[in-house]
Amino acid sequence: MNTEETNKNSNFIRDIIDEDLKSGKHSEVVTRFPPEPNGYLHIGHAKSICLNFGLAKTYNGRCHLRFDDTNPTKEEQEYIDSIKEDVRWLGFDWGENEFYASDYFETLYEWAILLIKDGKAYVDDQTADEIRENRGTLTEPGKNSPYRNRSVEENLDLFERMRKGEFKTGEKVLRAKIDMASPNMNMRDPVMYRILHASHPRTGDKWCIYPMYDYTHGQSDALEKITHSICTLEFQDHRPLYDWFVENLPVPAVPHQYEFARLNLTYTVMSKRKLLKLVKENHVNGWDDPRMPTISGMRRRGYPAESIRDFCERIGVAKANSTVDFALLENCVRENLNKNALRFMAITRPLKVVLTNYPEDQVEFFDADNNPEDPNAGTRKVPFTRELYIEQDDFMENPPKKYFRLFPGNEVRLKHSYYITCNEVIKNEDGSIKELHCTYDPESRGGSSPDGRRVKGTLHWVSAAKGVKAEIRMYDHLFNSSNPEKAEEGKDFLDNINSQSLEILANAIIEPELCNVAPGTKMQFLRIGYFVADLSHTKEKPVFNRTVSLKDGWARVQRNQ
């Protein structure tokens, strides 16, 4: 165990583990990350992944990857594969410790029979609506099922026939017999098994009854001898049920459940049901849409895995729910990319500049730093020609005071190259600007003048002759509201969707070298933001996604507090 790291990143779960190891309660640490394969993982899961795998690493233990695959109607192999990819991409490896709740179906079935024989489980014929209606409320006890006092023999017979497929989906369930008057609703004879005539991704048609999550979860932990079962706060009221099953079954180990606060993020929804709705109704372009809070979406948007781990470390582990500003996540991304991303020039909204005193057929190459933050990143050659492109926003015909970019009569510096002065504005018939005619100062090569004169504006540019047309996708928050789940009366979270969350710039111009980067390559476009080559990026059709802007929103928020 790394004591220095433990002290630095201390939290209440680490304190518990320290005490357990010190007292001899446990001699090793075994955690698990137990996703349900019914959707893609999101940033909230990343927090759990980093916590569980991180604890195992800190204490030289192990972390299991276990799929709680108990609902074949919602689970797919696609989700299993995506979960594995996401965990690996975040930097974690479960080695040989890959498990599935479906591996334990036979054991769970046998243990259910033991509970029936002990008079602690019974088969109920009530419908789901009737069970819900008779469950009671927070202030009123539930009502016993009319089938609660069936004999052990009858329950054993019915449960066996349930397994054999003699009944229709939903016709019967197996319930634990606990206490219908319990103040904890989860203890009011919870359902253990339901009938589902559905093929399972791993067990096929072997089963037509499937165990419920609450019954499966703790027993799977026990079978794997998990020492610290860590979950989010919404499962706190489920812990007595978790313990009840463990105490009433011949489990090989007795795990304990610990709860921590889940991650809530502004401008984001974390519900798998709502994320699935976004995908199925085509509000986004799949689970890996860069606007989605899924790990695959953030990967496609260009978020480095290191920055997500850094974010999870910074927000820490708490016992009370809270909401984290999305700007903190962006700040972690920005800090990482500022150190590691190579710099290039790209023009998102081109405006042509013609240097009237520059030789028509001449091409020069200027050395440009690949990353001023990294002296070892080297330089690259950038072609310079008579005709260039600059950003439309970098020119104003009638500028306000303290506008230091290009305007008629003003001189600016072109990054890495020359000083230029705007002499004439050429317009189209409709009055829009067609191009600018400028002159360059050949004595200012490299971006400085021998006479010592200084200019206040520096612009980026791309050669019109050598530049390449590209598609640039400018992404913003998917929702307008910082709390999209809090909708007005009569509306839902979909009414908060930001119609401007994606802007496609199909006529952008980039340095020619950018055509050769591989999909997934991260870079900074000077003065614009951080970008990544999309998965669809090719040399013939370059496509880039904006990862995050250059502005540090989190630092601004901190200064204003």
Given 36, 130, 335, 435, which residue is catalytic?
A: 36
Contact 217, 239 (CB under 8 A): no
Q: Is 539 assigned a catalytic role?
A: no
Burial of 20 (0-12, 13-18, 19+ CB in 10 A): middle
Alpha-carbon dihedral of residues 369, 372, 373, 375, nearest 10 degrees? 60
- DSSP for 244-269 reads HHHHTTT-SS---EEEEPPEEETT--
Phi and psi at residue 315, to the nearest 5°: -75, -20
Q: Is 527 assigned a catalytic role?
A: no
Given 272, 291, 301, 546, which residue is catalytic?
A: 272
- DSSP for 149-216 reads T--HHHHHHHHHHHHHT-S-TTS-EEEE-S-TT-SSGGGSS-EEEEE----BTTTBTS-SEEE-HHHH
Question: CA 247 to CA 408: how far, in whole Å?
Answer: 82
Q: Where do we find the tokens 């986004």?
A: 284
Helix runs in 62-104, H state only: 77-89
Given 57, 120, 225, 262, which residue is catalytic?
A: 262
Contact 504, 492 (CB under 8 A): no
Taking CA atoms, 210 is separated from 35, 72, 129, 203, in Å, by 17, 9, 19, 11
| DSSP β-ladder status, 173-176 and 121-124 | antiparallel
Q: Is 36 assigned a catalytic role?
A: yes
> Running DSSP on this structure, what letter comes out for residue 308?
H
Strand partners of residue 367: 381
Strand partners of residue 473: 504, 545
End-to-end CA distance of the chain: 38
Contact 169, 181 (CB under 8 A): no
What radius of gyration, in Å, describes the C-alpha atoms of the chain? 31
Residue 369 CB neighbours (<10 A): 15
Positions marked catalytic? 36, 262, 272
